[in-house]
């Protein structure tokens, strides 16, 4: 147990909107947080682009996977089914038939950066909205109208969101954060960093995140 004066455990969740294992990892992390409800946490979402050079028109999802990872179409579909099943176990719905395209996610990261400034709960709500839009509903998460609508659904100002994505606002800040994490050795996501020191990578089971949180809470001064 911790007392009221215990500082929260800071969690930086480095991830991309188009990363299925990031959706899985977030579900597991949040369930672990719920299990250790007496331990205060402060969750921040940090940017990472799996495909920073993705063109505006995006790419076919299966074609992208086969070209990038050297797998066959059958293997790509088998991997998709494994991801769908793992997500279902954690309460997240992947619809691989609707998620047919891979999109550039830089504007989504710019909105997430702004959302953090508006409040961590709003950033968290926007992150969930983006993941659901892409993986469950097959939406284009680079489309400005879609991004503005998702921002509104997360309790943010839709007009302000539209103005941000129509400009270069927060572009430099997002690039700086991306360089910070890649420069620190982050090459794969999700990468979950606790108190700026302890790293857990991948879509780990709930128990792994729960154990990390309890160990850090016990070690706190």
Q: 10 falls in which pLDDT band (50, 70, 90)?
A: very high
Please write the tens of the pLDDT for every residue from 104-123: 999 999 999 999 999 999 99
Bridge partner residues of 102 (DSSP): 59
CA dihedral 201, 67, 174, 199 (to 10 degrees): 10
Tokens 């089971």, residue? Answer: 205
How far is residue 120's CA from residue 46's CA, in Å, rounded to a whole number? 12
Q: Is the pLDDT of residue 6 over 70?
A: yes
| Interval 22-44 mean pLDDT | 97
- For residues 3 and 38, the answer to whether their CB atoms sit within 8 Å is no
How far is residue 201's CA from residue 213's CA, in Å, rounded to a whole number? 14
Q: Is the pLDDT of residue 211 over 70?
A: yes
Q: 4 falls in which pLDDT band (50, 70, 90)?
A: low
Question: How is residue 141 written in tokens?
Answer: 């998460």
Q: Is the pLDDT of residue 209 over 50?
A: yes
The residues, ordered by sequence, that sit 6+ positions from 124 with a Cβ below 8 Å of its Cβ are: 43, 45
Q: Is the pLDDT of residue 186 over 80?
A: yes
CA distance readout (Å), 57 to 54, 92, 103, 181: 8, 27, 7, 27
Three-state SS for 54? coil
Q: Is the pLDDT of residue 221 over 70?
A: no
Give the pLDDT confidence score for residue 1 in this predicted structure.
Answer: 44
Question: How is residue 136 written in tokens?
Answer: 């469950």
Q: Is the pLDDT of residue 3 over 70?
A: no
Give the pLDDT confidence score for residue 2 in this predicted structure.
Answer: 47
Other CB atoms within a 10 A radius of the CB of residue 209 amount to 23
The residues, ordered by sequence, that sit 6+ positions from 113 with a Cβ below 8 Å of its Cβ are: 47, 170, 173, 174, 177
For the ranges 36-40, 41-45, 206-210, 216-220, which has the lowest average pLDDT? 216-220
Give the pLDDT confidence score for residue 102 in this predicted structure.
Answer: 96
* Average pLDDT along the chain: 95
- For residues 21 and 198, the answer to whether their CB atoms sit within 8 Å is no
| Interval 43-50 mean pLDDT | 98
Give the pLDDT confidence score for residue 5 in this predicted structure.
Answer: 67
Please write the tens of the pLDDT for every residue from 141-185: 999 999 999 999 999 999 999 999 999 999 999 999 999 999 999
Give the pLDDT confidence score for residue 56 in this predicted structure.
Answer: 86
Residue 37: is it exposed, middle or buried by C-beta count within 10 angstroms (0-12/13-18/19+)? Answer: exposed
């Amino acid at each position: 147990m911790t007392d009221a004066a215990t500082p929260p455990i800071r969690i930086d969740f480095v991830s991309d909107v188009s990363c299925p294992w990031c959706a899985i990892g977030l579900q597991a992390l949040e369930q672990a947080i719920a299990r250790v409800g007496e331990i205060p946490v402060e969750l921040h979402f940090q940017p990472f682009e799996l495909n920073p050079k993705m063109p505006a028109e995006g790419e076919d999802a299966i074609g992208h996977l086969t070209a990038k990872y050297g797998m066959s179409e059958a293997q790509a579909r088998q991997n998709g089914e494994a991801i769908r099943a793992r997500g279902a176990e954690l309460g997240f719905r992947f619809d691989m038939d609707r998620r047919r395209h891979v999109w550039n996610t830089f504007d989504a990261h710019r909105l997430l950066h702004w959302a953090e400034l508006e409040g961590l709960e709003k950033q968290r709500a926007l992150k969930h909205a983006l993941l659901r839009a892409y993986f469950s509903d097959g939406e284009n998460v680079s489309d400005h109208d879609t991004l503005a609508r998702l921002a509104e659904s997360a309790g943010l100002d839709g007009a302000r969101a539209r103005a941000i994505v129509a400009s270069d606002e927060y572009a430099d800040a997002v690039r700086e954060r991306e360089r910070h994490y890649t420069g620190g050795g982050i090459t794969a996501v999700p990468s979950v960093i606790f108190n700026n020191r302890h790293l857990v990578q991948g879509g780990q089971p709930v128990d792994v995140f729960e154990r990390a949180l309890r160990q850090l809470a016990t070690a706190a001064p």
